[in-house]
Each structure stands twice: as structure tokens, then as C-alpha cells.
A = this chain, B = another copy of it.
Amino acid sequence: MKRQRLTREQSKDQTRLRLLDAAQAIFMKKGFVAASVEDIAGAAGYTRGAFYSNFRSKNELFLELLRRDHEAMQAGLQTIFENAATREEMEERVLRYYSNLHRENKCFLLWVEAKLLAVRDGRFRIRFNAFLHEKLEQLSAYIREFSTRVGTPLPLPAETLAMGLMGLCDGVQFFYTVDPQNVSSEMAETVLAGFFARVVFGRDP
């Protein structure tokens, strides 16, 4: 266990990372607006000096946070289509992935906060919407890919399906997040699976 001296770059990267992780936790707990720069720096074990030396503003840090999660989710999506199999297996895999999204998606609240910020801050909106747009396009591409692989034409245009499925998932997850007492994880799954199967496959799950 050698704790050797860190070079400047290593040290700064470490600080940056700790600030990002701390900010994520604080944003989850208190919300973006209520989270102060002091809270974040403090939770990471620094003072505001470290924060402003690493990020121009809270918004800047937030976008970085979203970029991290955006890339992670993109990577997760990619794995579904690897190791192609029979049509039945593909359908089953896609359905299970979709109807369990609400359990995985740890950063959901972050994206909701970001959307609200985007509504009110034009600068932020431009950069944020780039993520949303990319997400929609990637999902559309996967949907087309799926259609080709299973050899069935799509019931609706890929873009329409993409937006509907993302919207549905977000909407249902919001219910689940706000009121897990009444809206159980199983209920959310039932809804997602039910709608997905009817819209995409035209049958029951």
C-alpha cells in the first residue's frame, strides 16, 4: 500500500473526480438549485477554492456529470445487440432490458433536474438538448437495427417509437421514484412491459 506523492496532474484529476462524485450525491439529495458550491466542495473534502479552480460554474460541472452518465448509458444500450441470437431471444432480451430500465437508472433525478434547468436557462438548454437529441437518434438507430435483425417491419416510424418509449420510461420511472410505496417496482415493470409488447410486438408480454 504505497501512498506515493502525486504529480500535479494526478492530483488535479483526483480533485476533479471527487468534486464530480460529491456533486452528484448532493444534487440527488438536495436538488441542483438548493445545492451550493460550498456544499459540493465541502462534501468532496475541499473548499470553494478547489471548486472554482476546476469548474467555471455549477452549470459547467453539471454538464460534465450528465456527459459521464450519457456515455455510460450509451455503453449499456450497446451490449443488448451483441451476440445476436434467434428472433425470440432478441425480443425477450430487448423487452427485459426496457422493462427493467427504471431499476438501473440511478441518475434519473439528475436528468429531471437538468430538463428543468434547460427550460429556464438558454445557454444550458442548447448544450443539454444536444445530449437529448443524440440519445433519441441513437435509440432510433437501435430500433431500426432491431427491426432489420428480427426481420419485421416497424409498427411506427423509428423516431416515433424512440420518443414514445423514452417518454414512457421516464414518465413511469417518475411515478416509481416519487411514490415507491404505492407504485412498486413490479408495477412499473408491468406497465413498461405491457406497453412495450403491445406497441412494438403487437401482442402481450
Q: Which residues of B contact A195 (CB under 8 A)?
A: 164, 168, 195, 199
What is the copy number of this chain in the assembly? 2
Q: Which of B129, B182, B194, B204 contacts A164 (CB 8 A)?
A: B194
CB distance from A99 to the nearest CB of B (A): 12
Q: Which residues of B contact A192 (CB under 8 A)?
A: 164
* Main DSSP-derived SS at the A contact region: helix
Q: Closest B-chain residue to A129, C-beta based?
A: B179
CA distance A168 to B118 in the complex (A): 20
CA distance A2 to B155 in the complex (A): 63
Q: Which of B30, B109, B132 contacts A175 (CB 8 A)?
A: B132
Given A33-B34, A178-B119, do A190 and B160 touch, yes or no (CB 8 Å)?
A: yes
* A118 in contact with B178 (CB, 8 Å): yes
CA distance A116 to B204 in the complex (A): 33
* B164 in contact with A168 (CB, 8 Å): yes
Interface size grouping (class) on chain A: 35 or more
* B160 in contact with A164 (CB, 8 Å): no
In A114-143, which residues have CB < 8 Å from any B CB?
A: 115-116, 118-120, 125, 128-129, 132-133
CA distance A198 to B202 in the complex (A): 8
CA distance A192 to B168 in the complex (A): 10
Asked if A191 CB lies within 8 Å of chain B CBs, one says yes
Asked if A77 CB lies within 8 Å of chain B CBs, one says no
* B160 in contact with A194 (CB, 8 Å): yes
Which 8 A-B residue pairings sit nearest by Cβ, starting from the closest? A167-B171, A171-B171, A167-B172, A170-B171, A33-B33, A164-B191, A168-B168, A164-B195
